[in-house]
Chains A and B, each alone.
Chain A
Amino acid sequence: MSLRTIVCLNCNAAITVPQSASIIVCPYCGHTFEASTGKKWEYYMFPSYVDSPSAWRKAMQFILRRYGVPDDFNAEANLRSAELYNVPYHVFSCKAYSSCSYGGRYASYLETRNMPVLAAYTGTWLDDFARSLSFSVRGRSFFNPSQAQRSRFYMPTMSYGEAYNIAHRFIEGQAMAEASRSCSGSKGVEKIEVNYLGLVHYPFWLMEYVYKNRSFRVLLDASGGRVLFVEYPISRRSRTIMLTASLLIITVGLLSGILLATMRSPLSLIGGLASSIIVSSPMLAKAFSLKDKGSESPAQKNWSRDAWRVASPLIGLPVPLRLSVADLFTEQ
């Protein structure tokens, strides 16, 4: 990445920033201005409430409750690195009206959302998580020089205009999805308002630890204290237990399939095998994975929702709450 040096318009500090930085936040005084025009910019920061030892402690305590963690984990896992990342977001408050007409009737719908747009990529695996972050309940505050200086402090490389367009497209999609959920007639988006709430930095702890010469990653929300992602080893004993349980499930499926195949339909054998493999799949996946992963954010139960989505029309049950075909195309 090519760099350049810019002088802060408030405190005269020399700041090294990426060539593509669109807005400059001075890490010494917090003065924030547009790189091309020098115009002062609305800027805030989410405070980091968690320091590095407590971030590591939280991660350890989270991992220790997971199933299959080796007994000697507490004694053998050692923190190799912990770095605080401050990642910029352009934040918008969006509002859109959509409308629909059906058989001479007319209806309009309102959709409101707050939308943080990730304004710089760190080039690390953090980016995947940073993109879909829900903010801490404790909220944003003013610039804090020590948090900025003791961290990897990223300048936004995405311009305000680009971020605005993303927010605009997002709320437009949401408004259309809302109309699709409500009405099958001809639809359109009538009016969109996107208000800028400013640039914010959000803090993350990116950590790496070593267990028996293998390294594992940890990501923690430094403002809300949530464990966003961990990797951890699985003990040989737990793998054996999970494999045995899977084998038990598959054996039951096979035996009962064979039994019913001889009595009624040969299809039962295939059904028994298919059903037992589906049922044991979570255990098999975990038993054969090199590292297991976990997160404290709401569990990702997408596969069960997908199964429901596929099965419900077949049985004639309604698709569950807030799930419709429109969601498939508009989900973030």
Chain B
Amino acid sequence: MTETESEKVFKCSNCGGPLNYTPETIACICEYCGTVNWFSTERFEMFVMPTRTRDEVVNAFWNRMKHDPDMSRVYGELELVEAQGFYVPILMGDVSTRGEWIGFRRITEKRGKSYVTRTVTERGSFNTPLRLAVEARREAAEYGLQELIKQAKSVNDPQPLEAVDWKKIGLQVLNAELLPEEAEDELRDMAEDDLRESIRSSKSLDGFYYYSCESKVNSFWVLLAPLWSLVYKYRGGMYRVSVSGYNLQFLRVSEPVFLSRRILYLVGSILTVLVGVLLTPLLLESLIFAGLFILVSAAGAFLANKCISDVREEKWK
């Protein structure tokens, strides 16, 4: 019989166990003996954020629900359906950046009875080291992943791979998919974008006349971060929770919207209408008030939308 393309089996170099090898795998950790099997000539250094056990994660979930002001009232009606964890590879990098910028800001002022807008030019330079983090997988999406990446940046005690007893952990380890060269480009691209946006927001700029950023990646490594994904049921509906296995931090939690909150949102949206009405006599005076009117009405619509939405999301910041 002809061999199908799927019948290729990759074995661990140490114990011969089957490896969870996928086409983009650069390094694959054997589930049986913990050996790192490399599939790339160029290598990343790899570190691990230790994870708590499944029981600890589940306990943390119930503990949170018990003490949450909204959820504690329906504690008895909650049912945990799923608790699954896996290690996600995060690309970490130390990048040094240097550059200069010339930006502009529009300022609207009242002169006598009319309003005048003028443009102010600001300039500056920077020479900053950055620690950056990005998922080491292509175009991947997962609930809570972005929050986990944010958390990974501030982890100071990652462990080397060898220090971890993989057999005891029993979590699926997703493979890093980026080649070292791609990783470097990804980090440089990110450094450019992050710095530009942080200058823009910290200096309240409306735009740039010029911005340059020379970046150099000094070192990069892969950090395996434990992401726990939980699903619970309340009155037939499914809600997701993601928890960092590292410190049991809740990364993202979706909760049902209860009646009391819906009423609160409705009252809020009615208040925005009142503010909108108060603003209207001023509309002809300046465009600023027109802008405020649009914003207040949009905020009201946002609250009205929340009033009839299905979940309330809490994100770790």
Q: Which of A142, A184, A245 is B307 in contact with, Cβ under 8 Å?
A: A245
Q: Residues of A contacting B238 with CB < 8 Å?
A: 58, 61-62, 64-65
Query: Are B273 and A112 touching (Cβ within 8 A)?
Result: no
Q: Residues of A contacting B234 with CB < 8 Å?
A: 65
Counting CB contacts under 8 A, is A35 at the interface? no
Bound Cα distance from A32 to B4, whole angstroms = 11
Q: Residues of B contacting A279 with CB < 8 Å?
A: 269-270, 272-273, 276, 297, 300-301, 303-304
Interface of A, secondary structure class, is mixed
How many residue pairs link A and B with beta carbons under 8 A? The number is 287
Interface size class of B (residues with CB under 8 A): 35 or more
Closest A residue to B183 by beta carbon equals A112
Counting CB contacts under 8 A, is B164 at the interface? no
Counting CB contacts under 8 A, is A93 at the interface? yes
As a 0/1 sequence over residues 227 to 246 of chain B, the CB contacts with chain A under 8 angstroms (1 = contact) are 00000011111110000000
Q: Residues of B contacting A43 with CB < 8 Å?
A: 5
Nearest Cβ on chain A to B272's Cβ, whole angstroms = 6
Which of B32-40, B52-60, B155-163, B195-203 lies at the interface with chain A?
B195-203
Counting CB contacts under 8 A, is A136 at the interface? yes
Q: Which of B24, B145, B292, B311 is A140 in contact with, Cβ under 8 Å?
A: B24
Bound Cα distance from A119 to B35, whole angstroms = 38
Query: Are A311 and B291 touching (Cβ within 8 A)?
Result: yes
Counting CB contacts under 8 A, is B19 at the interface? no
Q: Residues of A contacting B197 with CB < 8 Å?
A: 321-322
Query: Are B6 and A144 touching (Cβ within 8 A)?
Result: yes
Query: Are A110 and B188 touching (Cβ within 8 A)?
Result: yes
Q: Which of A109, A143, A181 is B4 in contact with, Cβ under 8 Å?
A: A143
Known: A66-B310, A181-B208, A267-B280. A275 touches B288 (CB 8 A): no
Nearest Cβ on chain A to B190's Cβ, whole angstroms = 9
Closest A residue to B203 by beta carbon equals A318
Bound Cα distance from A28 to B3, whole angstroms = 10
Query: Are B273 and A183 touching (Cβ within 8 A)?
Result: no
Nearest Cβ on chain A to B222's Cβ, whole angstroms = 15
Query: Are B297 and A274 touching (Cβ within 8 A)?
Result: yes
Q: For chain B, residues 170 to 227, give those with C-beta under 8 angstroms from any C-beta of chain A.
A: 174-175, 177, 182, 185-186, 188-189, 192-193, 196-197, 200-201, 204-213
Q: Which of B8, B100, B141, B236 is A134 in contact with, Cβ under 8 Å?
A: B141
Counting CB contacts under 8 A, is B15 at the interface? no
Counting CB contacts under 8 A, is A19 at the interface? no
Closest B residue to A263 by beta carbon equals B281
Which of B41-49, B69-77, B132-140 lies at the interface with chain A?
B132-140
Counting CB contacts under 8 A, is B126 at the interface? no
Bound Cα distance from A226 to B142, whole angstroms = 9
Q: For chain A, residues 247 to 301, give those with C-beta under 8 angstroms from any C-beta of chain B.
A: 248-249, 252-253, 256-257, 260, 264-265, 267-268, 270-272, 274-276, 278-283, 286, 294, 297
Counting CB contacts under 8 A, is B130 at the interface? no
Q: Which of B24, B210, B233, B297 is A139 in contact with, Cβ under 8 Å?
A: B24
Q: For chain A, residues 174 to 189, give those with C-beta under 8 angstroms from any C-beta of chain B.
A: 178, 181-185
Counting CB contacts under 8 A, is A328 at the interface? no
- With A267-B281, A280-B301, A321-B200 given, can you name 9 additional A-B contacts, CB distance below 8 Å? A136-B140, A137-B140, A139-B174, A139-B177, A143-B4, A143-B5, A248-B270, A276-B273, A318-B200
B contacts, CB < 8 Å to A: 2-6, 8, 22-24, 88, 99-100, 102, 105-108, 117, 135, 137-142, 145, 174-175, 177, 182, 185-186, 188-189, 192-193, 196-197, 200-201, 204-213, 233-239, 256-257, 266, 269-270, 272-274, 276-281, 283-284, 287-288, 290-298, 300-305, 307-311
Closest 5 CB pairs of A and B: A271-B280, A65-B237, A314-B291, A275-B276, A61-B238
A contacts, CB < 8 Å to B: 10-11, 28-32, 43-44, 58, 60-62, 64-68, 74, 91, 93, 95, 100, 102-103, 105-112, 114, 116, 134-145, 178, 181-185, 197-198, 224, 226, 242, 245, 248-249, 252-253, 256-257, 260, 264-265, 267-268, 270-272, 274-276, 278-283, 286, 294, 297, 303-304, 307-308, 310-319, 321-322, 324
| Subset of 25 A-B contacts with CB under 8 Å | A29-B5, A32-B5, A62-B237, A64-B237, A64-B238, A65-B234, A91-B138, A93-B182, A110-B188, A135-B139, A139-B137, A142-B22, A143-B4, A144-B6, A145-B4, A226-B141, A253-B273, A274-B276, A275-B273, A279-B269, A280-B304, A281-B301, A316-B108, A316-B117, A322-B193
